[in-house]
């Protein structure tokens, strides 16, 4: 499973409005860095970030651990709402 798909599955398991979830990979200027942008419904933003950012940090940790098994790239995840 690639990292974008993994991120999308994790986020969709947390939100109520799964149709509004959009996860995309964007290129970066840095060689070993991958940027993943997550867009969710404004009502689901709190569920994805969590109290004190705990859910967001857990998502980043899981995706980073998966990356270390495959590509060994540094993962940046931006979470935004629309």
Q: Does 77 score more than 90 pLDDT?
A: yes
Beta-ladder partners of 36: 25, 77
Q: Does 41 score more than 90 pLDDT?
A: yes
Q: What is the pLDDT of residue 52?
A: 96
Beta-ladder partners of 79: 38
43-54 tens-digit pLDDT: 999 999 999 999
Q: What is the pTM of this model?
A: 0.91
Separation in Å, CA 74 to CA 9, 42, 69: 20, 27, 12
CA atoms within 13 A on the CB side of 60: 16
Q: What is the pLDDT of residue 20?
A: 94
Q: Any idea which architecture 3-81 has in CATH?
A: 2-Layer Sandwich (3.30)
d(CA 41, CA 34): 23
């Amino acid at each position: 499973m690639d990292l974008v798909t993994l991120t999308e599955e994790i986020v969709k398991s947390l939100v109520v409005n799964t149709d509004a979830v959009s996860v995309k990979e964007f290129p970066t200027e840095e060689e070993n860095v991958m940027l993943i942008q997550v867009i969710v419904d404004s009502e689901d933003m709190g569920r994805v970030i969590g109290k004190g950012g705990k859910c967001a940090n857990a998502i980043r940790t899981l995706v980073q651990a998966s990356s270390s098994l495959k590509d060994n790239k540094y993962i940046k995840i931006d979470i935004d709402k629309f």
